[in-house]
Structure 1
Amino acid sequence: MTRRNSCAHCPGSHSGERSCLASATTKARGWLLVEHPGPWPERVEQGLPGHPAISEAVRAAQAAGVRPQLIRRSGRRRRIPPVQVYVGYSHGERVWLEGRELADPAELADLDLAAVAAGTPPGFGEPVTDPLLLVCAHGRRNACCARYGAPLARKLTARFDPFVWETTHVGGDRYAANLVCLPHGVYYGDLGPDEAVRAVDAYLRGEVLLDRLRGRAGLPEPAQAAEHFVRAHTGIRGVTAVTVESVSGTSPYEAVVVVGERRYRIVVERVEQTGPCGAECQENLGTYVVRELTLLNEAALV
């Protein structure tokens, strides 16, 4: 099988040379995480031979608008069942996670995926108050994710276990190693060990770092860009302290962003990045630049 986007096609994509802002997946708000030590298929929707209940749960989640991820512990494989399962919602301020170990994966059929998609805790498991840190290590999907993600997962596990899980494709292969912080759906990319540790430390404080920040899942790319630039201007780092009130137009886009009692008008434009990494690597070729940033009712700031 030909693997997509081998690392040889991605010069500069793992060294911080390419902007990764506004590249978090735009469709993930509800999440279903199911433990499966492997092997993982190239695409989760292809199913897992010999595991019909998990395969059906993945298909049902996608149909309901919930993002399914297979997860496993880094560096060790336990016999399953029991199967660790998490469900969660990462949009807005009312984020949540629930977790449960299943003696039989067939119990996944009892999960109310419609409630998860709507942001309502389904009572499928116990509330989870600790974060989940997902590192993409999906080598069958992309060789870079194994090369960069698996070592990063081991590094983070040594420091932040038991929060850390390896996971299947999270989007943006060219930004490996990729990290997703739940329940808020905060995405980081192009991470080395030091950057990843700083990002996790910030998340545990309830903050984001702008360095290597891809954005927050579930928001349109222009909204992610607008939030990023307003954070850069104001210095505000609280995970939920900045809200994109509206986005309108086509590139350039106009957004209104709220920070506490202040409201900003910001214009962002999508531009193509230089030095594309090859015909086989077509994800995330664009980035965003800020054209105007105005504190409403006052003069332009930039």
Structure 2
Amino acid sequence: MINNTIDCRFCSVVSKANKEDPIGTAITCDHWIIMETPQPWPQEIYQQNPTIKSLISAYQELVFKYKIQLKPVLIAPDREYSEPGLTRILYYYRPAHLFSKFEKQEFIVPENQAAALVTAIFQQLLQKPNNLSDFQKYQQQTSHIRELMICTHAQVDLACGRFGNPLYRQLRKQYAPISNGNLRVWQSSHFGGHQFAPTLIDLPQGYFWGHLEPSVLDLLVEQNDSVLGLRKYYRGWAGLKQFEQIAEREIWMQSGWSWQKCLKAGKLLAVETVAEGCQPDWAEVQIDFVDPLAQIKGSYQVRIESCGEVMTACNSATVMELEPVKQYRVSHLVRLE
């Protein structure tokens, strides 16, 4: 275990060495706005880029006033995928309460219309009058394409640049070209969890992965062996909250790859009451599912309990401050028909 970090300035090295479990750290969201934005991306890119800055107040209204779970992500234009003078915008949304993957709309618009398109999407989310139909001519038929977005945003944390870039290059050069156009690989801005670098988002499924290693990329991309091999890299599914994500991993590991196809949703049944800023020692959740292939539905009731703490670093630095993070395990899982 690493306790002295004088010579170890990458937070993800400490996290991995101390065996911090990444599960339960995926961002929960119902909507994604993903926009091509040329690099470099300074740490304050959202305040410094004129197009993005013009959208900030509307975004804040959606998230803080109307409590819409919307995640913005930037992707770097790609020499093969992208076109000069045009901006690609991907909008993903949760299609129903029970679901297995996010629905996608992709647009490629002139740069000077990018803000107008995002504004129209925001207005649609608020069920306000909008001109989204004006952008139909820019819509792309790409719902079949899997998108892998690797955080390489070194300006937010050095670990994402140090470990994200090699992983991005390997996925981009080795896997995207042989996918028959069914896989694209992108460099992305920060989306949380840099202590798990290299970390990526897998859409349209909405899976978050971290602490990734070259040796597991075949399994991640091709899904050609037991899903158990991905257990320690799984941060969780964006359709669920923290304790539900922990439960869902256990169900997936027991069920195998077929679990991906199941429509699902989660809810918190009970949780230990603790002081603000403290993590509870236990929680009980329910995961409801529908298996469209087997034509069955059911629920899992799951109890999650603390199983200790590990020391981790949330940010890379010359001299890092370590802090304890509670770890969890599934102590009871039962399937209800």
The reply to whether TM is greater than 0.5 is yes
By percentage of residues, which structure has more helix?
Answer: 2
What is the number of equivalent residue pairs in this alignment? 283
Q: Secondary structure at the residue paired with 2:71?
A: strand
Report the equivalent of 2:71: 67
Alignment partner of 1:126 is 2:140 = yes
1:191 counterpart SS class: coil
Q: 2:215 aligns with which of 183, 187, 194?
A: 194
> Which segment drifts farther, 54-63 or 95-104?
54-63
User: Which residue of the partner structure matches residue 47 of structure 1?
Assistant: 48
Q: How far apart are 1:128 and its partner, in Å?
A: 2.2
Write out per-residue CA displacement over residues 35-80 of structure 1, whole angstroms, 9 at most, x where no aligned residue: 11211121443231xxx22332355345424221111146899774
Distance 1:105 1:287 in 2: 47
Deviations along 1:249-284, one digit per CA (max 9) or x if unpaired, are: 224211122354443221012455313237857899
Bigger Rg over Cα: 2
Aligned equivalent of 2:93: 89
**2:304 corresponding residue in structure 1:** 268
Whole-angstrom distance in 1 between the partners of 2:229 and 2:43: 31
> Cα distance, 1:89 vs. partner?
1.6
Partner of residue 160 from structure 1, selected from 176, 181, 186: 176
Alignment partner, residue 268 of structure 2? 247
How many angstroms does 1:190 deviate by? 0.5
Identity percentage of aligned residues: 22
User: 8 Å contact 1:22–1:287 — kept in the other structure?
Assistant: no
Normalized against structure 2, the TM-score is what?
Answer: 0.72
Any stretches of 5+ residues in structure 1 without a counterpart?
1-5, 298-302
Whole-angstrom distance in 1 between the partners of 2:324 and 2:25: 7
Is the 8 Å Cα contact of residues 22 and 232 (structure 2) preserved in structure 1?
no
2:161 pairs, out of 141, 146, 159, with 146
Contact 1:14 1:176 in 2 (8 A): no
Call closer, same or farther: CA 1:61–1:79 in 2, change over 3 Å: same
- In structure 1, give the amino acid aligned to 2:302: I
Aligned to 1:268, the other structure's residue is in SS state strand
- The aligned counterpart of 2:327 is 287
Residues 3-61 of structure 1 show CA distances to partners (whole Å, capped at 9, x for unaligned) of xxx844444434693211111012x221111111211121443231xxx2233235534
Whether 1:101 aligns to 2:122 is no
Q: Could you list the runs of 4 or more consecutive aligned residues of structure 1 that deviate by over 6 angstroms after TM superposition?
A: 74-79, 281-284
Tell me which amino acid in the other structure corresponds to 1:23: T
Please give the alpha-carbon distance, in whole angstroms, between the structure 1 residues aligned to 2:253 and 2:269.
21
| RMSD of Structure 2 on Structure 1 (CA) | 3.4
Please, which moves more after superposition, 250-259 or 30-39? 250-259
Unaligned runs of 5+ in 2: 1-7, 64-69, 178-182, 272-279, 292-296
Scaled by the length of structure 1, the TM-score of the pair is: 0.79
- Identify the match of residue 254 of structure 2 among 222, 233, 237: 233
Aligned partners of 1:102, 1:207: CA distance in 2, in Å? 41
- How far did 1:104 drift? 2.5
